Amino acid sequence: MQLKGLVKLFLVLLVFVVSLQYLYLYPTWKVEKAADKYAQSFVDKAPKGSDLYQVRKDARIKYLDSMSSEVIFKIPLLADYTYNDLKKSQLALGLDLKGGMSVILQVNLKDFVSSLSNDNKDAKFRKALDNAEKALTNSQEDFVTLFQDEWNKVSEGDKLAKVFINNPALRNTLNFNTSDDEVIRYIREKVMKQ
């Protein structure tokens, strides 16, 4: 009989912990859903040719940052919880609770961009690739954006198209008059397909 009492106590404690965790999850889900709606409104208004993924990501992060210190859940007479407080208090959901498992194979983007250039040995191009790879470790920007920034710093006015025109597969897409923005847009499209 004592074992039944212990099992019941354990069950009550388990239900309490699960309920408490759900109380932490539900308000954050609401905030994250609102962040997704907010981000979608920016995507809908984005100018043609914009990187929609980046627009959505930036808008979502901006919204979540603005909500990070806002009280979104209160337990009367006990505590007020901000979005950050609740995120820190949540149990990390395992793969079985998140709906399965996904495997991501990530391409080394430096090597990929280099291969798009037909492994061009241009010193400025190589320096921009190396600098972008270094900057990636301390930045939230994607590799292509960092590469574009670094190219703008080191190119001394040279066109990026001259680096990629050596690839026979790109000669029909790019020419020497292609702007750097168009080349970057092309690189970004190729990266997104990987």
Q: Residue 174: pLDDT band by 50, 70, 90 thresholds?
A: confident
Give the CA-trace dihedral at 14, 17, 20, 25, to 10 degrees. Answer: -90
> What average pLDDT does this structure show over 93-110?
62
Q: Per residue in 25-82, pLDDT tens?
A: 888 888 889 999 998 998 888 888 778 888 888 889 899 888 888 888 887 888 888 8
Q: Check residue 168 and report its DSSP letter.
A: G
pLDDT on residue 37: 92
Give the Cα separation of 17 and 137 in Å (integer): 38
Q: What is the mean pLDDT of residues 84-93?
A: 73
Whether residue 130 is predicted with pLDDT greater than 80 in this model: the reply is yes
Query: Would you state the pLDDT for residue 103?
Result: 59
Angle (CA) 166 171 174, round 5°: 100
CB 81 within 8 A of CB 21: no
Question: Are the CB atoms for 30 and 67 separated by under 8 Å?
Answer: no
Distance CA 89, CA 17 (A): 12
pLDDT-derived band at 110 (thresholds 50, 70, 90) equals confident
DSSP letters, 93-132, are P-HHHHTS----PPP-HHHHHHHHTTS---HHHHHHHHHH
Question: Which residues, listed in sequence order, are joined to residue 82 by a DSSP beta bridge?
Answer: 71
Answer whether residue 95 shows pLDDT above 80.
no
